[in-house]
Amino acid sequence: VKTTVSVIKADVGSYPGHSRTHPKLLEVAARMLKEAEGSTIIDSYVTHCGDDLELIMTHTKGEDNEEIHELAWNVFLECAKIAKEMKLYGAGQDLLADAFSGNVKGMGPGVAEMEFEERGSDPLLVFMADKTEPGAWNYFLYKIFADPFSTSGLVIDPSMHQGFTFEVHDVMEKRRIRFNTPEESYSLLAYIGAPSRYVIKYVWKKDGTIAASTSTQRLNMMAGRYVGKDDPVMVIRAQSGLPSVGEVIDPFRTPILVAGWMRGSHHGPFMPVGVCDANCTQFDGPPRVVCLGFQVSNGKLIGPADMFDDPAFNRVRDRCCELSDVLRAHGPFEPHRLSLEEMEYTTLPGVEKQFKDRWEDLPE
């Protein structure tokens, strides 16, 4: 029987502002999932990254299972109810919100799932981010599964030497395409280098073994309007023909810039942190990522290990702070502020509307 890992997340309210999930919500979510263990699910772990409540669940029901998704939804509804009572900020925010919170992105829960036959030993890494979008994983997934200067196993491990297959989603046109690496690496990069539109959804070994799965909820369409950026999650299996745990997390030592941060409208450095530091503070950020490591054993989650709670990641955090200084100095200017195309999905059009009648045509 196969094991399924489902990571489902939503921002259902936070304090203060958009900085962190309240411990009461974590407690209630953990209890509700614990009660479902043995019936709907096998095992669970609840955590947060910034203001996003993260439900990690294992079961045998496969991807997109109604019971699992309903369980997650009910947890979010219950937590949103408590958040409303406490008047937490953006209570119910990602549940097709009634409280508008500065941008119209991210209005539904995010989901990353994978089903697999457990190997003799199955290391699993769950990545959870706040204040960015699903395309933020593109750079790292390429480094992990296709860059031989990052993952030495691509070169020296005969069981990885043949490369990987990537599935890319176009979140504007709602279509998908697969690329094989190393032979089509340049073609893959042509698309995933534009992470606001092209998002890696899955990575497999060429024999079909699932290696990585991400949330791509940026494609949510609501009321005919584009709304769906969401602080993303990602699940990666490691070792034995897949990149090692160390090869999976090493790329996060490079401080790349991602879209999100304040009001979902700015580029900022992506900072790997331990869960103890997974609170978005400075300018509502900077964008953060946590990684919990587990061993999966007959559906049980052995762990977690807090992978970025580690002095080996101190220097990238310092470099993120330096980049933050450089970007923040731009104030409301690009490229700190997102491009106009991206700003269409923020609150800026509301400002432009106020001036639409004051513009005059220039004489010929």
Residues near Mg ion, by CB under 5 A: 11, 18, 43, 50-52, 90, 106, 130, 231
> Any contact of residue 231 with ligand 13P (CB under 6 A)?
yes
Q: Which of 264, 269, 286, 304 binds ligand 13P (CB under 6 A)?
A: 264
> Any contact of residue 54 with ligand 13P (CB under 6 A)?
no
Q: Which residues pair with 168 in a beta bridge?
A: 177, 200
Q: How far is CA 116 from CA 37, 68, 275, 287, in A?
A: 20, 17, 27, 31
Q: Which of 81, 226, 277, 300 is catalytic?
A: 226
SS3 of 147-211: the string is CCCCCCHHHHCCCCCCCEEEEEEECCCCEEEEEEECCCHHHHHHHHCCCCCEEEEEEEECCCCEE
Least distance between ligand 13P and beta carbon 14 (Å):
7
Task: Tell me if residue 293 falls in helix, strand or coil.
Answer: strand
Instruction: Name the phi and psi angles at 306, rounded to 5.
Output: -90, 95
| Residue 250 appears among annotated catalytic residues | no
| Residue 94 appears among annotated catalytic residues | no
| Residue 11 appears among annotated catalytic residues | yes
Displacement of CA 159 from its chain's centroid (Å): 28
> Any contact of residue 40 with ligand 13P (CB under 6 A)?
no
Residue 255 identity: P
Least distance between ligand 13P and beta carbon 301 (Å):
22
Q: Which residues lie closer than 8 Å to 335 by C-beta, 6 or more apart?
A: 267
Binders of ligand 13P among residues 68 to 107 (CB under 6 A) are 90, 93, 101-103, 106
> Any contact of residue 51 with ligand 13P (CB under 6 A)?
yes
**What is d(CA 25, CA 174) in angstroms, rounded to the nearest whole number?**
33
Least distance between ligand 13P and beta carbon 191 (Å):
25
Residue facing Mg ion at closest CB distance: 106
Binders of ligand 13P among residues 1 to 20 (CB under 6 A) are 11, 18
> Any contact of residue 133 with ligand 13P (CB under 6 A)?
no
Q: Which of 105, 131, 205, 229 is catalytic?
A: 229
**What is d(CA 27, CA 6) in angstroms, rounded to the nearest whole number?**
19
Q: Which residues bind ligand 13P (CB under 6 A)?
A: 11, 18, 50-51, 90, 93, 101-103, 106, 130-131, 231, 244, 246, 262-264, 284
Q: Annotated catalytic sites, by residue?
A: 11, 226, 229
